[in-house]
Amino acid sequence: MTDTIYFEKQETIFTIDFLQEIARELDRREQEVLSTGARFRSENADRSGFFSIQVIQLALETLSTVRLLPYDNPDAKRYRENPSIARAYLLNSNKHWFAARKFASKHWFLLNSLRNGPEYMASGYFDVYLPQLQADGVSIFVVVGPLPECFADSVMDSTFDPSWNVMPTVQNNKEFGVRDDIAEAIHHSLQEEARRRADRMAEEDAVAIASAMSKETWKEEDAMAMSVELSLNSRQNGNNLSACVTK
């Protein structure tokens, strides 16, 4: 099912020149606000190629209507209280950007260009995982605004199985700044969820088989009752016929 999620390796969607142009414009506006004699140092870009969140947000706004809301912003209170109500988050760990997106009604996936593909996280555990990321120093931004519907949204609810793909393994979580004990607990919880789902499916299959057998038994019993009834009717008719012949 993860192949229905559009996922690609990191690439230059925005050119360096384009992002630098945005950074310079932000610098110009900031300098206008500051006093004339104030010493100005740009924090919108550096020589390593890193750009500030303000630059990223303005770049995103050129492509769509979404905006980024800092997770610790007062306006983001409802997202902190219930992280799963959002559609997506943009995260930064050690100057590396990655995303978390919800598909259909409740299926969260981590989308990280350093990984082999999308990685699933159940919504209940996502609500615990996101605050832990923040506590461990990961910068989090709520993606606010409509996201385009995709094929994964249309089929995820009806065909999803959590055993297909689970959270990153414990040894791979350090790059996110995630505590190993939290990651391990989530990992085991997801495995348990997959086992419970398998047990439910097996139980449903057993009930279906028992129901089918019960129906078949009723058919056999109905057939037997009908045969007995026909036999009795035949016997009754035979007796009546014998009585008529005797008379």
Q: Tell me the average confidence (pLDDT) per consecutive run of 10 residues in the chain, 247 residues long.
A: 53 75 87 70 77 83 81 93 91 87 83 81 77 88 84 70 50 47 56 61 64 56 55 51 39
pLDDT attached to residue 188: 59
> At CA 60, angle to CA 59 and CA 61, rounded to 5?
90
CA distance 198 to 163: 9
Q: Is CATH 3.90.70.40 the classification given to domain 2-199?
A: yes
pTM greater than 0.95: no
Mapping DSSP to helix (H, G, I), strand (E, B) and coil, where does residue 36 land?
Answer: coil
pLDDT attached to residue 198: 62
User: Quick count: other Cβ atoms within 10 Å of Cβ 142?
Assistant: 24
> At CA 132, angle to CA 53 and CA 176, rounded to 5?
60
Contact 160, 107 (CB under 8 A): yes
pLDDT attached to residue 147: 79
Closest CA to 195 of 167, 166, 162: 162
List the chain domain ranges: 2-199
Mapping DSSP to helix (H, G, I), strand (E, B) and coil, where does residue 147 land?
Answer: coil
pLDDT attached to residue 75: 94
CA distance 66 to 86: 12
Contact 167, 121 (CB under 8 A): yes
CA distance 200 to 205: 8
Q: Can you point out the beta strands (E) in 71-165? A: 88-93, 96-103, 107-111, 119-121, 139-144
pLDDT attached to residue 127: 82
Contact 75, 69 (CB under 8 A): yes
Distance in Å from the first CA to the final CA of the chain: 81
pLDDT attached to residue 86: 92
Closest CA to 134 of 162, 92, 187, 95: 92
